[in-house]
Structure 1
Amino acid sequence: MIAKNMRFVSLLTLGCVVAVQATKLFDRNLAYSSPFVGYPQFSHDTRKLQARHVAYVKRQTVDNTGFDDEHYPTFYGADFSNAPFIWSGGINFTHSVASMQGDPFDTSVLLWTRAVPIGTPDQSVPVCVSFKIFDNPNLNGKPLDSGEAFTSYDVDWTLKVEATNLKADTKYWYQFADCTNAKTVTTIGATRTLSSPNTPANLVNGGKPLTLAVFSCSRFQDGYFNAYGVAAHNTSADVFVHLGDYIYESLGNGAAIGRKVLGRELATIFDYRQRLGQYRTDVSPTSLINHRDDHEVADQAWKAGTADSNDTMVGCAFSPSGACFTDRKLAAVRAYHEWIPIRQVDVDDKLRIWRNFQIGKLLDLTMLDTRNYDRDITDLYYNTDINSIADFQNRSLMGAEQESWFYNTLSQSQSRGAVWRIVGQQIVFTQLDEQGEFDVDAWDGYRANRNRILDHIQNNRISNTVILSGDSHANWVSDLAHPNDTSYDPVTGKGSLAVEFAGTAVTSSSSFGAHIAPLAADAISQIIVTDPLNSDLQWSEGSYRGFFTLTLDPHTATATYYAMRNISNPNLDAFASAVFTVKAGANKLTRPVAGGSVAAGILKASPSVLPTGV
């Protein structure tokens, strides 16, 4: 009788120990809680996952009568390699590693990988992955942080963990491994922390200029993501920023270059996971601070719908996927948080992703959400002409809460003594008349909101604001003044309040026409830059796919635009198409703009275009 009772206590103790350890290891993988931290009814309840896990452990410690398992580990031991309650049949790290996507802070970074079990494990069996982070590329010495975490089919075998207790403004190297077999490891990834907010501007990045590489619009079927590789290998970029359309929900055969997308138009969690996984198979690295635009959910997204899935009485009827907007958005956002190690911001605030990074006293990097948060209705291709409501004062691209936060962030940035205010957002800000048409899906469809931002900058004398934009699939560089403000001089830049650098797509087709040649694109640019309604616009280029870098020091901001010569195959063949500077305190592009000459596109004043590719 005593022996039986002792055996019962032993089993109970084992169950409690396993339960605590399992919950801890589930919780360490942030993919389980994102994007619904604190709301188990919406996110993955790790307590329930732990209960499922403990039920599996129980199968290893009691008579198997009543269980239908045809396979499970039957050996025991003191370390993970012999543990009876995790997968030990081997794993495959299918998508390498990522980190700089993980919103780096000054003392921590997010690390990401995907660990798929080899074989067909019981779904109640988690995969255990360990990680270590070091201060050297050879991974020598004691790791600065390490640990284990579980992943499972519930989160598509993805894993994101936070490495903490790091030094500010420092580069690190990290690696993941199979807990049950230390020889199964990922490639070694590199990451970095940001400078602490109070670091003097001239000491940020070790005293060297800090360079951001800026991307948008990477459509898989249109070409290879060579821009990522060029930025990683051929520039000195320190931080990669993606302004949206990191994936596309649409179909495309890409047959000519072997880039056919998998599946169907995205609607379910499976669809979005599959597409994210396919995009991450491109050979160029994609470690970015990411932002969502419309295509991460569906085309022309706004707060209550998209072009083909709206929360209306007939909303589902015309969606090729058969999905309503809310279901589609929640599936997209969950998969995005699994595959892109973005930090949780505020689950109580409409799946908010807008946030601010204080990078020493050199800059504030303010990331807005001008698409999914609280955007009023946009052009859905079939609805009322948005031009007729674009000037309405109560119309907002950002929502009242985000607007208020943005104004406070700009003011606080100046008050704290940051030199530059760099604003990352999705769509073209300046007024842009494109041969008689305005893109009302951009800021031209929300003119009062744009004016409120310019008013805040002007009335509060906020200096050194640089807006970064994407989405348009073409390059645009502008001074920023109130549209049609006659006090602004496009020749000298007098009257400008800020500057905008808008970049072309990584691969997505030009808004000037798919595969348009440089000369044909330049003819269109010539018309646009000389249009009196586009007085702020100083450069336009619409043929090349690519990206741009923004290099910052306490005195100067320098934007260098890069053009890919060929995206039909993986390569690093690119050239710098134009270089622009902004002096601290000037709030305008330095004259002559781009030094008076560019290698592609058209400048407003006395353009001197070098032969393409020079």
Structure 2
Amino acid sequence: MTLGERDPATQLDRRAFLRSASAAVGAAALATAGAASADAATSGGSGPQASSVFRHSVASGDPLPDRVILWTRVTPDDAAVPGSGTGRPTAVHWEVSTSPQFAAIVSSGDYVTSPDRDHTVKVDATGLRPASRYFYRFTIADGPHKGVTSVTGRTKTAPPADTDNDLLKFAVCSCSNYETGFFNAYRAMADRDDIDFVLHLGDYTYEYASGEYLGKYLEIVRRVQPLKNTVTLKDYRIRQGKHHEDPDLARCHALHPWVCMWDDHETADNSYDGGAEDHFPEFQGSWADRKRAADEAYFEWMPVRPNSIDGGEHLYRRFTFGKLVDLVVPDLRSYRSKQTYIGTDTPEQTITGNAQLDWLRTSLTTSKTRWQVVGNEVMIVPLVVPWVINPDLVDFLHSKFDYIPRDGLLVDNDQWDGYADERHELLSAIDAAGKKSVVFVTGDIHSSWVSEIPLNTVHYGKNAKGRVVACEFTPPSITAPSGYDEIALNEAAASVCADAVSVAQSAIKAADPWIKDVELTSHGFGILGVTPERATMEWYFVEDIQDPQSRVSLAKRWYTEHGKPKVIKSL
């Protein structure tokens, strides 16, 4: 076994182990304007060649009031598969229309792709009307496949910033490990006609070799490609291509615009600005080369507006949806310090980097919208072993020795807990600005959480120092192993594991009372609906991710009221 490999029978990635152990520590459709539109958006393109030439379907993303990113990939010949570096340059014509029949074209253009960008196509379609639904498609403009047309995609632009809109609704998801389950959650999102976009908060792909990161009962339901750990540009392109071929994911991309942010597994586990826990330079090469390869494949394959992080570009960005919502999406991977358990409350330990922290703080505190929503890759709520001494004594000790954690002993240093000083700085800025309608929606932890975020945990529920300044809604993973999956090594142990998880859930809430609800077993996604008065999160759980036809149903609902960052259960 080479360094960095894991025995599939005993594998547990360190952070997943901490997730499953945290409680013990702490206790210590779809239609567009009708059915015809939905049929058009999922129907094949022109001719039998469409499914082979446009085998990775289409996608859209980063909606603004007057434009949206459009994406596809062409396969000019059977050998020109993702990562092959082969195939002729191909001209593609793209079109946007208000109708699925493309009776009137409102925006169009041409694009030439080649092996240099893995035959992907990404354009910024401009000249669109705000808050409008559009249809788009791509057509091969030269070569032997000239005239072959892709499936029809469907997208939607954002409302203008001066609009008095009364509803924004979007899906929230993360963590789709290909081998541990089917993408039922993407299918359920695709089937909806009531969402404006999909917010994906990272771990869209995983870097592990086949069989290295197993799910419930240590089962592999299907094989990812490449079979090896992804390290090179070719590897990352192949992995992206395999995901995009999944029919449920492809359909979800085709029917909704997406807003995407990476986390660590698009490159390597527990990454930071200068490396990753699971990167080994002695046989995987330099971290800079690996990160550049992963980033290049991501920008090629994902419908995000930046095309690189070279030359001052960055992936963190902000979207305004009328007067109702500012959606702020930080990048909590590219600029963070290396994770540590010592000195997490010191200013030197940063999760954002100085420039991005200024941008994030300013974006939230100067926002003119009624709500501010943060698309947050890792949990910001403190998940800690709390102090049991006098809160004022904790404050005194922390003021004298800033390496003594203010909120308690952390469980997972990869979350905001590992960067507690910066978290406190951000929460204090939100509080000082009088922003009382900040909602964090979060991925990464492969489980479901509902939390109030206090300014100071040791004073929570005791006095004004512990006042709640924001709240956090965390839906579960699409398929990546949950806490239950991590300990359920075989079916015979299922009931014992279920009992252990139940105890863990209760222990977490008892230890950290600002965490109001936690569920460590299920997979699925969330739907956040924002009105002027409420922000409501609904959790949708998949009955069995190992069954490709499994049912998806509403499991719970919590909300927060405008100006009152507490959380309330309604289902």
Contact residue 431 and residue 483 of structure 1 kept, 8 A = no
Amino acid aligned to 2:199: V
Contact residue 328 and residue 374 of structure 2 kept, 8 A = yes
Contact residue 98 and residue 104 of structure 2 kept, 8 A = no
Unaligned stretches of 5+ residues in structure 1: 1-87, 203-208, 310-314, 379-385, 599-614
Contact residue 458 and residue 466 of structure 2 kept, 8 A = no
Q: Distance in 1 between matches of 2:377 and 2:52?
A: 37
What secondary structure, in the 3-state scheme, does the structure 1 residue paired with 2:414 have?
coil
Aligned twin of 1:495: 467
Unaligned stretches of 5+ residues in structure 2: 1-48, 387-408, 489-493
**For residues 500-550 of structure 1, what are the alpha-carbon distances to aligned partners after superposition, in whole Å with 9 as ceiling and x for unaligned?**
01221110101344256654422210111111xx12100000010111110
Q: Distance in 1 between matches of 2:155 and 2:362?
A: 30
Q: Relative to 1, partners in 2 of residues 1:182 and 1:364: Cα closer, same or farther, differing over 3 Å?
A: same
Contact residue 459 and residue 466 of structure 2 kept, 8 A = no
Q: Distance in 2 between matches of 1:120 and 1:571?
A: 32
Aligned twin of 2:373: 422
What secondary structure, in the 3-state scheme, does the structure 2 residue paired with 1:446 have?
helix
Amino acid aligned to 2:344: A
Q: Choose which of 529, 544, 553 in structure 2 pairs with 1:551.
A: 529
Overall identity of the aligned pairs, in %: 29
Q: Distance in 2 between matches of 1:358 and 1:150?
A: 32
Residues 64-75 of structure 1: matches in 2 within 5 Å?
none
Q: Choose which of 504, 512, 517 in structure 2 pairs with 1:539.
A: 517
Residues 37-52 of structure 1: matches in 2 within 5 Å?
none
Q: Choose which of 207, 223, 236 in structure 1 pairs with 2:194.
A: 236
Alpha-carbon deviation of 1:278?
Answer: 0.6
Residues 260-339 of structure 1: matches in 2 within 5 Å?
260-285=224-249, 286-287=252-253, 288-309=258-279, 316-317=281-282, 319=283, 322-339=284-301
Q: Relative to 1, partners in 2 of residues 1:346 and 1:219: Cα closer, same or farther, differing over 3 Å?
A: closer
Contact residue 180 and residue 220 of structure 2 kept, 8 A = no
* Matching of residue 457 in structure 1 with residue 419 in structure 2: no
What secondary structure, in the 3-state scheme, does the structure 2 residue paired with 1:328 have?
helix
What secondary structure, in the 3-state scheme, does the structure 1 residue paired with 2:238 have?
helix
Q: TM-score, normalised by structure 1?
A: 0.73
Q: Relative to 1, partners in 2 of residues 1:489 and 1:559: Cα closer, same or farther, differing over 3 Å?
A: farther
Q: Distance in 2 between matches of 1:89 and 1:265?
A: 31
* Matching of residue 527 in structure 1 with residue 497 in structure 2: no
Q: Choose which of 116, 120, 132 in structure 2 pairs with 1:170.
A: 132
Alpha-carbon deviation of 1:453?
Answer: 0.9
* Matching of residue 403 in structure 1 with residue 374 in structure 2: no
Contact residue 50 and residue 148 of structure 2 kept, 8 A = no
Q: Distance in 2 between matches of 1:301 and 1:120?
A: 33
Residues 316-395 of structure 1: matches in 2 within 5 Å?
316-317=281-282, 319=283, 322-344=284-306, 347=309, 352-372=314-334, 374-378=335-339, 386-395=340-349
Q: TM-score, normalised by structure 2?
A: 0.78
Q: Distance in 2 between matches of 1:348 and 1:273?
A: 19
Q: Relative to 1, partners in 2 of residues 1:232 and 1:359: Cα closer, same or farther, differing over 3 Å?
A: same
Residues 118-157 of structure 1: matches in 2 within 5 Å?
118=77, 125-139=88-102, 141-157=103-119
Q: Of the two structures, which has the highest relative contact order with CA contacts closer than 8 Å and spacing of 6 or more? A: 2
Contact residue 105 and residue 193 of structure 1 kept, 8 A = yes
Q: Which runs of 4+ in 1 moved over 4 A?
A: 88-91, 119-125, 345-351, 434-437, 515-519
Alpha-carbon deviation of 1:109?
Answer: 0.8
Alpha-carbon deviation of 1:197?
Answer: 1.1
Amino acid aligned to 2:360: F
Q: Distance in 1 between matches of 2:558 and 2:440?
A: 14
Contact residue 90 and residue 117 of structure 1 kept, 8 A = no
Contact residue 345 and residue 355 of structure 1 kept, 8 A = no
Q: Relative to 1, partners in 2 of residues 1:256 and 1:404: Cα closer, same or farther, differing over 3 Å?
A: closer
Q: Relative to 1, partners in 2 of residues 1:103 and 1:527: Cα closer, same or farther, differing over 3 Å?
A: same
What secondary structure, in the 3-state scheme, does the structure 1 residue paired with 2:276 have?
coil
**For residues 206-246 of structure 1, what are the alpha-carbon distances to aligned partners after superposition, in whole Å with 9 as ceiling and x for unaligned?**
xxx22110011111111111111112215722210010101
Alpha-carbon deviation of 1:437?
Answer: 5.8
Contact residue 484 and residue 535 of structure 1 kept, 8 A = no
Contact residue 201 and residue 419 of structure 1 kept, 8 A = no
Q: Relative to 1, partners in 2 of residues 1:573 and 1:360: Cα closer, same or farther, differing over 3 Å?
A: same
Q: Relative to 1, partners in 2 of residues 1:443 and 1:350: Cα closer, same or farther, differing over 3 Å?
A: farther
Q: Relative to 1, partners in 2 of residues 1:572 and 1:289: Cα closer, same or farther, differing over 3 Å?
A: farther
Contact residue 364 and residue 420 of structure 1 kept, 8 A = yes
Aligned twin of 1:24: none
Amino acid aligned to 1:570: P
Q: Choose which of 214, 225, 233 in structure 1 pairs with 2:172.
A: 214
Aligned twin of 1:446: 419
Alpha-carbon deviation of 1:349?
Answer: 6.4
Contact residue 202 and residue 262 of structure 2 kept, 8 A = yes
Larger Rg: 1
Alpha-carbon deviation of 1:119?
Answer: 5.7
Indicate the larger mover: 561-570 or 231-240.
Answer: 231-240
**For residues 162-220 of structure 1, what are the alpha-carbon distances to aligned partners after superposition, in whole Å with 9 as ceiling and x for unaligned?**
21110000000111111135641111110010011111133xxxxxx221100111111
Contact residue 220 and residue 261 of structure 1 kept, 8 A = no
Aligned twin of 2:207: 249
Alpha-carbon deviation of 1:147?
Answer: 1.9
Q: Distance in 1 between matches of 2:460 and 2:270?
A: 35
Q: Relative to 1, partners in 2 of residues 1:345 and 1:584: Cα closer, same or farther, differing over 3 Å?
A: farther
Q: Distance in 1 between matches of 2:308 and 2:88?
A: 31
Q: Choose which of 56, 69, 72 in structure 2 pairs with 1:113.
A: 72
Contact residue 242 and residue 290 of structure 1 kept, 8 A = yes
What secondary structure, in the 3-state scheme, does the structure 2 residue paired with 1:257 have?
coil
Q: Distance in 1 between matches of 2:383 and 2:311?
A: 32
What secondary structure, in the 3-state scheme, does the structure 2 residue paired with 1:136 have?
coil
Residues 53-92 of structure 1: matches in 2 within 5 Å?
92=53
**Alignment: residue pair count:** 475
Contact residue 185 and residue 524 of structure 2 kept, 8 A = yes
Alpha-carbon deviation of 1:464?
Answer: 0.4
